[in-house]
Amino acid sequence: MRTIYLKHSFRLLLGLCMVVVSFQLFAKCTSPTEAVRLFAADNFAIQYVGRVDFSDPALPRFWSPGVYIEAYFEGDSCQLILNDEMLWGKHNYVSVVLDDQPIKRIMLAGKVNVLDFSDNLDRGKHRITVCKSTESGIGYLEFVGLRCQKLLKPEAKPLRKIEFYGNSITCGTGIDTSVVPCGAGEWHDQHNAYMSYGPVTARSLNAQWMLTAVSGIGLVHSCCDMDIVMPQVYDKVNLRENKVEWDFSSYQPDVVTIALGQNDGIQDSTLFCSGYIKFIHRLRTKYPSATIVCLSSPMADGELAFVLKKYIASVVEAINQSDDSNVHSFFFSKSYSNGCDYHPDLKQHAEIAEELTCFIRQLKGW
């Protein structure tokens, strides 16, 4: 009897131990996730690239297309909070990339916008990028912060840097008809700076990018009754309104491209070429070691393309003869005009980027 009793007690004790262990494992697997909290825009782990006004570090403000913000986080919850100026009552668009998921191009809905990307998100580590896809004339955005469970130390940005000066083509105007077709909606409903030739080129070359561009702007003459030209506003954060001084030391590009001339049209050669040379000299004072590449206009018709090629070639030759051999020219192989208002479309921006990528890779050995 004693033996049977001891065996029974042992089985009972073993059973209780298994229950306790099972409960502990279950509790561990089903423990609640870390609480979601707001990480403010001035958190050191949030990275910014582009012309951003940090006058108020808690609400960094930016106007330019292509300005982008990156963060790394852990957990199954993610919300971005952005304020939209809603200039003239218009809504900005942003492009958001989460990990390797398809790009989401989103029209903001109001002054304050909470963009939730928590659906089907696992508890692992993630990277999120948000890019302003509309240009300066649609008003500024302010980044409020990121809601998640844990913000991680950021990975190093690419060492290479490129800056793209230009007009509406560089802004990504008329490129994306996936939601609103040409001729419908607002004039900026087809903007997509994230997929314009500059950022596509930079990503292909593993480089950071900055778009210093305004729709309609020219080198010596702008279209559409604009009262500014690029050499007047190139040193500002808000180019369209010629406001807020830009600190050039905060972004020193390895390569600078200039795609101006489309809005100038066919100008007097002396006026255009002398203005171009002066602008390059100004850029050189800001970027002593950058490689500068003067581009033809990707959407120019045959007559304008011929004139710009001749003018740009003479500008580069004059600069080279003045002991600056780090200035080059590049002429696109054809005209790209399948998008809205004869701008390049998404496919053509990819083709433009491919041409430019090959040239920069050869030029810089990248």
Residue 88 placed within a domain: yes
- Tell me which DSSP letter residue 277 carries: H
Residue 187 placed within a domain: yes
Does position 47 have pLDDT exceeding 80, yes or no? yes
Residue 164 neighbours by CB distance under 10 Å: 28
How far from 298 is each of 146, 321, 337, 353, CA to CA, in Å? 37, 27, 8, 10
Domain that holds residue 172: 160-364
The alpha carbon of residue 182 and the mean position of all alpha carbons in its chain are separated, in whole angstroms, by: 23
| pLDDT tens column, 138-162 | 999 999 999 999 999 999 999 999 9
Angle at 85 between CA 84 and CA 89, to 5 degrees: 100
Residue 297: is it exposed, middle or buried by C-beta count within 10 angstroms (0-12/13-18/19+)? buried
Residue 13 placed within a domain: no
Rounded mean pLDDT, 34-52: 96
Of the candidates 216, 223, 231, the residue with the CA atom closest to the CA atom of residue 169: 216
The domain boundary, picked from 116, 151, 186, lies at 151
* Domain containing residue 71: CATH number: 2.60.120.260
Does position 335 have pLDDT exceeding 60, yes or no? yes
Quote the pLDDT of residue 33.
Answer: 61
Task: For residue 3, name the pLDDT band (cuts at 50, 70, 90).
Answer: very low
For residues 192 and 95, is the Cβ–Cβ distance under 8 A?
A: yes
Q: Please tell me the total count of domains within the chain.
A: 2
Provide the whole-model pTM.
Answer: 0.90
For residues 330 and 359, is the Cβ–Cβ distance under 8 A?
A: yes
Question: How far, in Å, CA of 23 to CA of 292, rounded?
Answer: 66
Residue 324 neighbours by CB distance under 10 Å: 14
Does position 17 have pLDDT exceeding 50, yes or no? no
Residue at 306: amino acid letter: F
β-pairing verdict for 93-98 and 61-62: unpaired
Same domain, 230 and 334: yes
β-pairing verdict for 112-116 and 207-213: unpaired
